[in-house]
């Protein structure tokens, strides 16, 4: 009988020791987990403040941090962030993070300066020459922008190395032909006329690279600011084509 009582007592003692050991091990495990979790941090999206995390931390945010994702998903931003309390028994604390508070004064100044600089950037673009719509020259000729571009190519091919007056004289010869009964009355037909070919540069027009100089020369003549040649001067070449020389400008002789 005493033997049985002794066995039961030893068994109970063993069970109690095992339970105590298990509780101690569980407490140590929980303590180590808390220490590891407490070293983690989250960054608040509003003010970049570091918030320690204990237990399970959940951050609920309606922000999507990139403009592209906002536009793609159509998510409505909600400026509220939920962060769990540092103590396991504390209730969750709600942190307000409005977008306007996240903007620093420096960022606002930069945004304002960016809006102010936009008009200056637009003004810095090179000015384009407007298409002449009214006939202000002695031939009463007007050209579309497409025709001006075509003429600029021919002037560049024929006289790219000539002085400005020489380029303007080439334009005057073209206009003299458009106004003459001996030649067609449209720019395209005058420049492309064959049998015999009048402008050898016509076949190379797509290779031309006219500059502002050619466009300025054309508009000076279109606007009636030049009167270099006679109205019947219809020819120009490196050598006089007729005995009647009107002007010699640069490397070209202009004849009528």
The pLDDT confidence band at residue 5, using thresholds 50, 70 and 90, is confident
Helices (H), 74-186: 99-102, 105-123, 145-159, 164-179
Number of other residues whose CB lies within 10 A of the CB of residue 186 = 11
Higher pLDDT, 117 or 144: 144
pLDDT number for residue 243 = 96
**What DSSP state is assigned to residue 54?**
-
Q: Is pTM, for the whole model, over 0.85?
A: no
Cα dihedral angle (55, 60, 66, 72), rounded to 10 degrees? Answer: 130
| Segment (H or E) for 216 | helix 212-222
pLDDT number for residue 32 = 67
pLDDT tens sequence across 201-219: 999 999 999 999 999 999 9
Structure token digits, residue 28: 């140590």
| Summary mean pLDDT of the chain | 73
Structure token digits, residue 148: 């001006």
**Does the pLDDT of residue 143 top 50, yes or no?**
yes
Among candidate residues 128, 134, 132, the one with its CA nearest the CA of residue 151: 132
Alpha-carbon distance of 167 to 160, in angstroms, equals 8
pLDDT tens sequence across 68-111: 434 333 444 444 444 444 444 444 444 344 444 445 555 444 44
């Amino acid at each position: 009988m005493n033997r049985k009582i002794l066995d039961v007592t030893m068994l109970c003692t063993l069970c109690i020791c095992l339970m105590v050991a298990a509780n101690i091990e569980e407490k140590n495990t929980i303590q180590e987990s808390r220490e590891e979790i407490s070293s983690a941090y989250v960054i608040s999206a509003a003010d970049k403040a570091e918030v320690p995390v204990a237990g399970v931390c959940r951050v609920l945010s309606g922000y999507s941090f990139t403009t592209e994702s906002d536009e793609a998903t159509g998510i409505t931003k909600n400026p509220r962030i939920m962060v769990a309390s540092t103590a396991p028994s504390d209730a969750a604390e709600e942190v307000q993070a409005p977008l306007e508070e996240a903007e620093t004064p420096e960022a606002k100044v930069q945004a304002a300066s960016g809006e102010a600089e936009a008009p200056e950037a637009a003004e810095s673009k090179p000015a384009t020459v407007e298409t002449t719509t009214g006939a202000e020259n002695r031939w009463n000729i007007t050209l579309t922008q497409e025709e001006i571009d075509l003429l600029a190519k021919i002037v560049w091919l024929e006289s790219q190395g000539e002085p400005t007056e020489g380029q303007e004289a080439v334009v005057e010869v073209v206009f003299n032909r458009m106004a003459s009964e001996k030649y067609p009355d449209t720019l395209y037909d005058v420049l492309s006329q064959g049998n015999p070919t009048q402008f050898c540069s016509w076949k190379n027009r797509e290779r031309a690279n006219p500059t502002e100089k050619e466009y300025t020369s054309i508009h000076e003549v279109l606007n009636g600011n030049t009167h270099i040649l006679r109205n019947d001067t219809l020819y120009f070449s490196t050598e006089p084509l007729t005995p009647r020389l009107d002007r010699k400008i640069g490397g070209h002789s202009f004849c009528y």
